[in-house]
Amino acid sequence: MRPIRNQPSTLGLASGTAGMLARKGSSQVSGEESQMSGEGGALTRREMLGMLGAGGAALALGGCGGSGGARVDESAPEWRRYAGTTLNFISENTAPTAAIVANLAPFKQLTGIDVRVVQLELAALVQKVALDFAGGEGAYQVIYADPYQILAPYADALADLRQFADDDKLPGLEDPNDFFPTQMDAAGRFVDERVLALPYDAPTMIWMYRTDLFDKHAERMEQDLGFDPRPSADSTWEQFYATSKWFRDESDDVPFGHGNMAKQHDSLMNDFSNLLWAYGGDYFEDGQKVGRIGVTEPGEPLLDSPEALEAADVYRRLVEIGNPGSVGWDWTGLAEGFMAGGMAMAPLWHEFAASIEDSDIKGKVGYAPLPKGPKRRACMYGGCGIGINGTAPKAEQEAAWLFVNWATSPDIQLSNLKSETGGGTPTRASVYRVPEVKRARQPPSDLPNVLTTNAVFEAWLPENIGLRPKIAAWNECDTTMFTQLSKMLAGQQDPERTMREAKRGFVRAIDTAASLARA
Amino acid sequence: MGAVAAPKTATAGPRDAPAPKRRRRGLSFEGRLMAPALTVLALLSIFPFLYIVALSFSRVGLLGGISLEWAAFDNWTRLFSDGAVGASWLRSVVYFVATVGLEMFLGVGIALLLHEIVRGRNVLLSALLMPMFMAPVIVGLLGRFLTDSTYGLYAWVLRETGIYTGEILGGTTAAFVAVTLMDVWQWTPLITLIVLAGLASMPKSVIEASSIDGANYWSRLRHIVLPLISGVLIVALLIRSMDAIRYFDIITNTTNGGPADATKTIPIRLYETGFRFFDLGYAAAIGLSMLAVSIILANVFMNQLKRRGLAK
Amino acid sequence: MSDARGGVGKRIGVPVLLAAVTLWTVVPLLWMVMSSFKPSGDLTADPPKVGFTPTLEHYDTLLSGNNIGGYVTNSVIAAGVSTVIAVALGCLAGYGLARSRFRGKDHVAFWIISTRMAPIAAVVLPLFVIFRATDLLGTTLGLIVAYLTFNLPFAIWIMNAFFADLPPALEEAALVDGATRWQAFRRIALPLVLPGVATTAVLCLVFSWNDYAFASTFSGPDSQTLPIAASQLVTQTEIDWGQLTAIGTIVVAPMIVVGLIVRRWLVTGLTLGAVTGE
């Protein structure tokens, strides 16, 4: 990321961290969020044309499109040009999409476009999207682009959104600097300057704990353990471990201290990565860049470093004393276990707050950033952007822009937050400054996800955010990682062998992906 | 449907008199009946087969349309040196033996029980057959519901009785046993049905004669009944075997191969290689190896049918 | 086959064992149906609840919110049309195969059966590429074609078995009376194997209705089928077991009904003609 001065672009197109899609100039983010805002920048016309050319080539690669159902009315106002079109939005079945589905009427009213939403489990979604790209169908114009499993491996099949933001016939983007810079990069970009998706949701792993139980036992625990067990800025994973053990052995309120999402599933990689980073390990050299922007040639995996081995060992010990259900739970299972009273605390995606505050343990849960390790605090970021299928016909892509633009706008992010049928957490900083949202940070809250705000703001700081590698081979690397970890947890291999095998798998996956990319 | 002669005959209707002499040498009546179906089948099988062979010798590019690049025997050498695939084959064999073995054992047992009763046999049989009409994906999801450690009925029963207290789909052995039992639950009825038909067709006189001889139940079962229905047993075994390697929906929708790869059978690995990693060339090689195994099984099936005079 | 000594063990043992088998078979099904009528709060109760006030809320949400009608239509069309084509072509070809004698017949027969036995995962792969080239991806027609890959060989094979069991003398008599070969097939042979046709149709319907692997790979936004809808209810934040068991009931019930209707002939069908039923 090269630092560029924050300056409105003459072309109405800016480059840089958050300013890449700036059109009406960039506005400064104020308040406590300002520390997270990055630098905007300018881009010359030539640079931009070159990039659009590249984007165009990627589009041409897409070959013939699908049936092509877009209607264009050239004379209509910018939001109405595609009235009568039907768009397909393929998404992971997440809370924000549930809220969008329940709230499609205003979009139809605004644009005259019908949106059909197909919601799938993440693995199924990834497969379906890849098949759609490979099929050249362009059947799904709007795509929930998981940065690691979709955006990185299939970057060339996604449309560069700058072409739409910069198109005078189409509505521009409302204040692009309002997106959090880390999210804009992590969810929206791959390797180069192209913007392939806009931040749409932002699940991040935080520490959820039962305040009722911690308060009840605080004194005894402090005596027994020698530290205040309640999550603080200084809490460490070692303390987390000791606290969990204490709950298991000393308290009758819950059968176990904590749980993990340690099923042989993507969730296991997420859960482990927090420790990997906290203990000073990483997947690749220059991990934060590999995670934030992505690379085409990541180099040698670092998974057999002493720090990584230690992290694996700590993770193994941690799962051992946790709820034995852990090894069968993905994030859903873990959240259900937590809500059913199976443990006193858990590292979980913060978006589960909405379900939790609607369950038997509502009002009894506190939210904090994950503990620190010897090296740092790392909270896995799992946010995704929504992007546009570059293999779809051009007019459908333009219609899709209206939806992408609308769904990520501050107004809609706010109404999603308030939605009764779901709702994630806003990816727009300004939403957190709305008075009623500010008020909702303290319990009792009508907007339960906002209760996690302090925790996630801390988690989203560049030094705390956990970003897994954004590389084309990630799907296979991810599978390798959680498979090897699962074998370790099943007692089939020690941490050293686990990480060595994982490294071997990474190398092979990267080789294969490279050879396929050349094909 | 192919533009073949048979449909014409079909629409020509009953008034059409046979005119064998005027017809030039061509397809016989039977040939014309078979032509449309076999043409469609050829399109659906031979072309895909050739294509999968081609894929297996290629590196397959995906974006911007499928492109094949000659890769010689890369995928094949990898197949035979890939320990993970070998492990999956091994797991498939164990899974196969466990499911089909249990299904045969239970299926025969249940059929023998049903054969003992007269009143209510049909009603009971109908009830027992129900699982085999279910979509395997529903069986898998239902299995997940029943074994969930937080609220699953079976998990609760096992916990309360102290038989198993862990997370069922989280333990390597337990998960393997669970997906095996889900398959057994669904497909034992098929064996029961087939074996029961075999039992019903046994000549009564033989049974009665042996029962006068005073032979007890078990020795009669071993020396008379089982030999009498051995043909049917072989058919049941082979039919089930061939389907057992075809389907993978139950595992996909429960453990999807985990934990620790304990349930990653070869179809799961093939699907993952093809449609998660999109390494289509390598997946094609795995697929062809599976195809070879199923063709061997089909061969055994045909030979058995012929040997026992059951082929039609 | 009654025990000569008529043991007490048998008089008690058989019913007890049968009861156990029935429980093992029926409980999961009952649990599914029961759960589909349970209020949401009771669904994930620990310990599991047996007594509850039945509710239709899950069927309501399913029918109102999820465009379930579209899934049903797709399922009916894909499975139905594929069945009709398979059975029609299968009747013709099955009869042809049963009545013909030619060199290499065994090889043709083996080719047909091996097509049916091919592992789904291996078939999906090349079909995907072919469908992509022929624009069949994401269409209901594509699913129909995909289902033909297993239904057609199956139908040919079974109908062959049913026709082969028919003594040729009946048709020969008709031919002597001046009927054409077609008339003999249409008027004599076919009516006699109607149960076979029905069984074949039911089994083809069950196989394609229950398909998950093909539909999850080939279907697009306009061609999703019911099993896909079911798997989609597993969401990131929760698994809606109420709706899931409701849709499970909807998927399963019709197949059990049609399956049991043709129970008498099922054995012949399921063993590809190798075993004849009661």
Q: Is A136 close to B64, i.e. CB distance below 8 A? A: yes
Interface of A with B in 116-145 (CB under 8 A): 123, 126-127, 130-131, 133-134, 136
Chain B's closest residue to A58, CA to CA, is B64
Helix ranges restricted to H, A32-175: 45-61, 95-102, 105-111, 122-135, 162-165
The pLDDT, as a whole number, for residue A77 is 87
Instruction: List domains and CATH numbers for chain C.
Output: 8-59 (no CATH), 67-270 (1.10.3720.10)
Contact between C138 and A135 using a beta-carbon 8 Å cutoff: yes
Domains of chain B: total: 2
Chain C residues touching residue A134 (CB < 8 angstroms): 132
Strands A365-368 and B58-61: unpaired
Lowest mean pLDDT among A38-52, B48-62, C209-223: A38-52
**pLDDT reading at A382 higher than 80:** yes
| B312 within some domain | no
Secondary structure class of C6 (helix, strand, coil)? coil
B133: which chain C residues are within 8 Å (Cβ-Cβ)? 206, 210, 252, 255-256, 259-260
Q: Are A272 and A367 within 8 A, CB to CB?
A: no
Within its chain, how far is the Cα of C253 from the centroid?
12
Which residues in chain B touch residue C95, judged by CB atoms under 8 angstroms apart? Answer: 30, 33
Whether the link from the prior residue into A347 is cis, omega within 30° of 0, is: no
Does a structural domain hold residue B152? yes
pLDDT at A67 over 60: no
C6 — alpha (psi -120 to 50), left (phi > 0) or beta?
Answer: left
Q: What is the DSSP string of A243-257?
A: HHHHHHHH-SSSS-S
Alpha helices in A440-473 (DSSP H): 453-459
Q: Are residues B162 and B55 in the same domain?
A: no
Q: Which domain holds residue B108?
A: 83-307
C100 neighbourhood in chain B, CB within 8 Å? 28, 30-31, 34
DSSP string covering B209-238: HHHHTT--HHHHIIIIIHHHTHHHHHHHHH
Chains that touch A (3 or more CB pairs under 8 A): B, C
What's the rounded Cα separation, in Å, for the pair C204 and C195?
14
Lowest-pLDDT range, A229-233, A445-449, B264-268, C147-151? A445-449
For residue B191, CA distances in Å to A448, B96, B127, B233 come to 53, 15, 15, 8
DSSP label of C210: T
In this structure, the answer to whether residues B32 and B107 fall within a common structural domain is no
**Contacts of residue C96, Cβ cutoff 8 Å, sequence gap at least 6:** B29, B30, B31, B32, B33, B34
R_g of chain A computed on alpha carbons: 23
C-beta atoms of C221 and A139 within 8 A: yes
For residue B1, pLDDT over 90 is answered with: no
The confidence score (pLDDT) of residue C6 equals 53
Q: Can you give the CATH number for the domain in which B130 is found?
A: 1.10.3720.10
Contacts of A154 in chain B (CB under 8 A): 63
Contact B129 C32 (CB under 8 A): no
Quick check: A44 and A155 in contact, CB under 8 A? no
Q: State the nearest Cα–Cα gap between A475 and chain B, in angstroms.
A: 6
How many contacts does B have with C, using Cβ atoms within 8 A? Answer: 320
* Residue in chain A nearest B149 by alpha carbon: A325
DSSP class of residue C184? I
**Count of helices and strands (H, E) across chain C:** 15, 0
- Across the interface, whether the CB atoms of C221 and A116 are under 8 A apart is answered yes
User: Alpha carbon A344 to chain centroid distance?
Assistant: 26
pLDDT recorded at residue A59: 34
CA-based angle A122:A128:A130, to the nearest 5? 105
| Residue A29: band (very low, low, confident or very high) from pLDDT cuts 50, 70, 90 | very low
Assess whether the previous peptide bond of A153 is cis (omega < 30° from 0): no
pLDDT at A14: 35
CB contact under 8 A, B197 and C156: no
* Residue B219 pLDDT: 83
Query: pLDDT tens, B94-114?
Result: 999 999 999 999 999 999 999
pLDDT bucket at C8, cuts 50 / 70 / 90: low
Could C216 and A124 be called an inter-chain contact, meaning their C-beta atoms sit closer than 8 Å? yes
CATH fold for the domain made of A205-380+466-518 = D-Maltodextrin-Binding Protein; domain 2 (3.40.190)
Query: Chain B contact for A328, CB < 8 A?
Result: yes
Q: Per mean pLDDT, which range of A8-17, A408-417, C119-128 is the poorest? A: A8-17
Residue of A nearest to B261 (CA): A483
> How far is Cα of residue B56 from the mean position of the Cα atoms in its chain?
24
How many other CB atoms are found less than 10 A from the CB of residue A2?
8
Rg of chain B over CA atoms, in angstroms? 25
CA distance B302 to B291: 16
Q: Which of C243, C230, B149 minimizes the C-alpha distance to A332?
A: B149
Partners of residue B218 in chain C, C-beta under 8 Å: none
Alpha-carbon span B198 to B194, nearest angstrom: 6
In the predicted structure, residue A52 carries a pLDDT above the cut 70: no
- Ranges A232-246, B9-23, B59-73, C32-46, most confident: A232-246
- Chain C residue with minimum CA distance to B240: C271
Q: What whole-number distance in Å separates Cα of residue A146 and Cα of residue A158?
A: 12
Q: Which amino acid is at A495?
A: P
Q: Chains that contact C by 3+ CB pairs under 8 Å?
A: A, B
Find out whether A94 and A427 touch, Cβ atoms under 8 Å.
no
CB contact (8 A) between residue C46 and residue A121: no
Separation of alpha carbons A215 and A204, rounded Å? 25
Quote the CA–CA distance of A465 and A274 in Å, as a whole number: 9
The CA distance from A330 to the nearest CA of chain C, in Å, is 9
Q: Do C237 and A422 touch (CB under 8 A)?
A: yes
More confident residue, B306 or B133: B133
Instruction: Convert the pLDDT of each residue in A293-329 to its tens digit.
Output: 999 889 999 999 999 999 999 999 999 999 999 998 9
Rounded CA-CA distance A126/A149 in Å is 7
Summarize pLDDT for A8-24 with one digit per residue, the tens. Answer: 333 333 334 444 454 44
- B106 and B55 both lie in a single domain: no
**Residue B20: how many other CB atoms lie within 10 Å:** 8
* B106 and B19 within one domain: no
Residue reference for tokens 């309501």: C60
- Please indicate whether, in this complex, the C-beta atoms of C121 and B271 are within 8 angstroms of each other: yes
Which of A103, A117, A118 is the mutation pick for testing C, counting most C CBs within 10 A?
A: A118
Closest partner CB to A342 (pick from B59, B150, B166) = B150
Share of chain A above pLDDT 70, in %: 86
State the Cα–Cα distance between residues B192 and B106, nearest whole angstrom. Answer: 8
Residues B35, B123 share a domain: no
> What residues does each domain of chain A span?
59-202+382-433, 205-380+466-518
Q: What kind of fold does domain A59-202+382-433 have according to CATH?
A: D-Maltodextrin-Binding Protein; domain 2 (3.40.190)
Residues of chain B with C-beta less than 8 angstroms from the C-beta of C108: 38
Under an 8 A CB cutoff, do C227 and B135 touch? yes
Q: Does the distance separating the beta carbons of B262 and A490 come in below 8 Å?
A: yes
Half-sphere exposure of B277 (CA within 13 A, CB side): 30
Domain boundary pick from B35, B57, B76:
B76
The two three-digit tokens of residue B123, written as one number: 């009603």
How many other CB atoms are found less than 10 A from the CB of residue A87? 26
Contacts of residue A313, defined as CB under 8 A and 6 or more positions apart, other chains included, come to A495
Using an 8 Å CB-CB cutoff, list chain B residues near A336: 148, 150-151
Residue A283 makes CB contacts below 8 A (sequence gap 6+) with A276, A290, A298, A301, A302, A303, A468, A469, A477, A506
SS3 C213: helix
d(C-alpha A93, C-alpha A124), whole Å: 10
* Residue A264 to residue B67, Cβ atoms within 8 A: no
Strands, E assignment, A218-299: none
ipTM, interface predicted TM-score of the complex: 0.90
Q: Do B115 and B72 sit in the same domain of this protein?
A: no
B276 touches chain A (CB under 8 A): yes
Q: Note whether residue B133 is domain-resident.
A: yes
Q: pLDDT, tens digit, for every residue of A166-182?
A: 998 999 999 989 999 88
* CATH topology agreement for domains A59-202+382-433 and A205-380+466-518: yes
* Closest residue to B258, CB basis, from A133, A265, A516: A265
Confidence band (pLDDT; 50, 70, 90) for C236?
Answer: low
Minimal Cβ distance to B149: which of A325, A512, A517 = A325
**For testing the chain C interface, which of A121, A351, A449 should be mutated: the one with the most C CBs within 10 Å?**
A121
Residue B174 sits in the same domain as residue B230: yes
CB contact under 8 A, A331 and C132: no
* In the predicted structure, residue C266 carries a pLDDT above the cut 90: no
Asked if C129 and B66 come within 8 Å (Cβ–Cβ), the reply is yes
Q: Is B44 on the interface with A (CB under 8 A)?
A: no
Distance from CA of C4 to the nearest CA of B (A): 6
Neighbour count for residue C169 (Cβ, 10 Å): 8
Q: Please tell me which of the candidates A328, A486, A492 has its beta carbon nearest to residue B149.
A: A328
pLDDT band, very low/low/confident/very high, at B243 (cuts 50, 70, 90) = confident
Residue A249 CA to residue A246 CA, distance in Å, equals: 5
- Whether cis (ω within 30° of 0) applies to the bond prior to B259 is yes
The answer on B108 and B27 residing in a single domain is: no
Which tokens go with A258?
Answer: 């904590």
**CB of A26 closer than 8 Å to CB of A40:** yes
User: Which pair of tokens denotes residue A438?
Assistant: 């500010």
Asked if the Cβ–Cβ distance from A127 to B272 is below 8 Å, we say no
CB contact under 8 A, A332 and C235: yes
DSSP class of residue A372 equals: B
Cα torsion A229, A235, A236, A240: sign: positive
3-state secondary structure of A196: coil
C67, C236, C240: which to substitute to probe chain A, counting the most A Cβ within 10 Å?
A: C236
Total residues found in chain B within this entry: 312
Global pTM reads 0.84
Residue B38 lies in a domain: yes
Among C275, C276, C278, most B C-beta atoms within 10 A, so best to mutate, is C275
* B69 and B92 assigned to the same domain: no
Tokens at C237, concatenated: 């934040």
Q: Do A93 and C235 touch (CB under 8 A)?
A: yes
Same domain, B160 and B179: yes
Q: Which residue has the tokens 């040009």?
A: A81
